[in-house]
Amino acid sequence: MGFVDSKVHRSGKFTIFIAPVASDHSQRPQSYRGEQDCPSGRTLAAEKQYMNLYCAKAKLNYGDFDSSHKLPNSRDSRGMFTALLGNLSLLSYFAKKRETEAVVVQTLGVISTFVVISQLAIGEAMPLPQYVATSVVVAAGLILNFLNYYGMLNSTIWQFWEDFITVGGLSVLPQIMWSTFVPYIPNSILPGSIAFVVAVASVTLSHSGKLSEKGPKFIGAISGWTATLLFMWMPVSQMWTNFLNPDNIKGLSAISMLLAMLGNGLLIPRALFIRDLMWFTGSLWATLFYGYGNIVCMYLLKTISLEFFLAATVGLIAWIGMALWRDAAVYRYNSPLRSLKELVFGS
């Protein structure tokens, strides 16, 4: 049981989706073969945006330390913990698929998020036991994913790590969702407890051989989507916080939100190109609701100019449109809608 791979064909260092247009590379258009190199450049740009974004967060926390080296109580580690678990789970997903560019991005995400979490722990905005446990999981996750990526890890150990990520993700996700809306709903650990029991039972049944042939694949798919949903929930939590406390938006940096939009947006063409629905959904969601969504909130509260908002809006629409058009062009399709149809339903 584990993450389910998309239907791809591997050739050398590249991952090529099996498209219905030609049976071998020699019959594909030149632009198709050239497209394999383009995502690497875009991903390097995405990595730069992510690093700039997290450096900005780290700098903000550093500037907010008071004389006793404490951070304000308003600094909540829940959002960062959710992002960290999401990045770590997605790192395992992409490491198993040998998707090099995505592995690099998620590794940077794990490391940079952990740096911010470390600042929260130093500033006493995160309990020490929780920080120690988080540090152990992060260190183990990075080492195991590195070894697995290079084929140096025993399959039994990797299976244990996948089971751990599955149970952890399925347990944490509903609990994080529930706690976001406290105190409007009762504070309870019931959602996470129920999810934990269900996750352990699912993993156990998957290994027992009592499920049908599709059972382990289904559980593996749930595991992968859980990782994506964890990553996707951070902007929901952020927007809910903005709704409850509009003044909170004034503390956000417009440049940071623009970097978030750029970093995720630059990964959309690659996810579409290899027909990875999970990756595409997560990147598009974060682009629209974390980056652009917060830019919209900032504009409505008049913390950014109309020119900045229009530039971000036009740039986003143009980029998504170009990604769809380019994908249709390299596959020699008459309409980008066919690319989206293949992405959702397969070829």
**pLDDT (0 to 100) of residue 59:** 55
Sort 309 into a burial class: Cβ within 10 Å, 0-12 / 13-18 / 19+.
Answer: middle
Distance CA 82, CA 85 (A): 5
pTM of the model: 0.70
**pLDDT (0 to 100) of residue 44:** 52
- Residues 112-142: pLDDT tens digits? 888 888 887 887 777 888 889 999 999 999 9
3-state secondary structure of 11: strand
**pLDDT (0 to 100) of residue 182:** 83
- Residues 47-67: pLDDT tens digits? 555 555 555 555 555 555 444
- Cα of 20 vs its chain's centroid, Å: 29
**pLDDT (0 to 100) of residue 281:** 92
Regions of the chain where pLDDT drops below 70 = 1-79, 251, 347
Structure tokens, 199: 């996750």
The helix or strand, by DSSP H or E, that contains position 8, with its residue range, turns out to be: strand 8-11
For tokens 């991903």, the residue is 43
**pLDDT (0 to 100) of residue 101:** 78
**pLDDT (0 to 100) of residue 308:** 95
Domains of the chain, by residue range, sit at: 8-345
**pLDDT (0 to 100) of residue 56:** 54
Closest CA to 177 of 78, 84, 283, 93: 78
**pLDDT (0 to 100) of residue 50:** 54
Q: Are 224 and 93 in contact (CB under 8 A)?
A: yes
